Amino acid sequence: MVGAGFGGLEVVRGLKRADVDTVLVDRHNYHLFTPLLYQVASSLLDPSEIARPARTMLRRIANVDVRVGSVTRVDLDTQQVQTENGPLEYDYLVLASGSINNFFGNDQLSQAAFGLKDLGQALALRNQVLWQFERASWSGDPQERRRLLTFVIVGGGPTGVEYAGALSELVALVLRKDFPYLDMAEVRVVLVELTDGLLAGFAPRLSKAAVRTLRRKGIELMLGVAAKDYTGGVLRLSNGQDLAVDTIVWTAGVRAAPLDPGLGALSVRQDRLRVQPTLQLDGHPQVFVVGDLAGMVQDGQPLPMMIPAAQQEGRHVAKNIKRLIRQEPLLPFRYRDPGMMATIGRNSGVAQVGPFRFSGFIGWVIWLGFHLLKVVSFRNRLVILIAWAVDYLFYDRPVRLITGPSPPPGRGL
């Protein structure tokens, strides 16, 4: 089992009573609740509040062995997974390595932009935003301050919209008090989106509600505009405009996380692996693929790279592996769409569940309740609820530390 994300955990849990020995390999020792990464990046939550050690989560499952390591190669012929720590043989293999940022071949932006796909990226972005205000407090040059205090978010999907709203509130409600001598009118939060609307896949009226809310928060929206390149501290846009900016946040797309170049022949759009309706890797019936890595097509469309799809696929693969062991025919997978939702800051959100559409305060409450229930442990739910309450009642973000790992002894600063 490769990957301790949402899909991988569902496979492990689904096999807990099966006559199998499961080895779970992940490059991290924790499971991450990715929908709240933007709240780590905007100084609301601490990393430990949205992540939990995988060994802790799975300690009651007797037939699983958790290993931390990076996969370097998947040998389909010899049925071995090569890792940095040595090989692992398998009878059945489940690939659930998730996704990474997709810069669509733009090397300049890939090197300059901050992502929001893992804890390291979220912490780096949090540090960057806080450092920019610290640097601006020392600067006597208005143009330099303007550059330091400009933040561009590329991508108008849920992550981009949620981070834009959270960042604008961090500035307006918290940093305004921390930096009373800075003119907050110099701060620019700019959201750049290639299409003519936000939140693709949502109902049009919900997309329009998101636009209205973001503009009310003072966020500059550039719709129908693409980020072309970034050189010399200048972001060039497809509308001919140049933005002097140090901080670019990339939320414009993802692609499957690479495992092995040798699997490239089996990949389809966004580097996802081609699978059968049973979620078996094309041509390799002993290998299953779930989550963002699975190039599953349903009704002529690829399945969304979203958590509900990964969880449903993980549960289905566990059932199919048990059917293989019992020598029973496998069942095809069918995705059931539970809906989508996004928050746009305080008292504002959008949600669509089946035929129902909600926006504003009701959409925000639905988002809060759903995500609180999905957090991985009761302790984390309680701590997150308290953090949300403090932020809501006292207009405060408790995690405003600029911090990073210290060097080993004797290595200097």
Are the C-beta atoms of residues 29 and 55 closer than 8 Å to each other?
yes
b/e string for 158-183 if b means 16 or more Cβ within 10 A? Answer: bbbbbbbbbbbbbbbbbbeeebeebe
Q: How far is CA 134 from CA 43, 52, 69, 149, in A?
A: 15, 32, 37, 10
Cα 106 from Cα 128, distance rounded (Å): 22
Q: Where are the beta strands (DSSP E) in 197-283?
A: 220-223, 227-231, 234-237, 242-244, 247-250, 254-256, 273-274, 280-281
Q: Interior CA angle at 361 toward 383 and 248, to 5°?
A: 70
Specify whether 162 is catalytic: yes
Cα 214 from Cα 174, distance rounded (Å): 18
Beta carbons within 10 angstroms of residue 401's beta carbon = 12
Q: Where are the beta strands (DSSP E) in 6-140?
A: 22-26, 30-32, 51-53, 64-68, 71-75, 80-83, 86-89, 93-95, 99-101
Cα 239 from Cα 47, distance rounded (Å): 38
Helix (H) or strand (E) segment spanning residue 164: helix 158-169
Cα 344 from Cα 206, distance rounded (Å): 11
DSSP label of 274: E
Catalytic residue among 10, 49, 162, 313: 162
Kindly tell me the burial class for residue 79, based on how many C-beta atoms sit within 10 Å of its own C-beta (0-12, 13-18, 19 or more). middle
Cα 181 from Cα 183, distance rounded (Å): 7
b/e string for 227-258 if b means 16 or more Cβ within 10 A? Answer: beebeeeebbbeeeeebebbbbbbbbbbbbbe
Residues catalogued as catalytic: 162
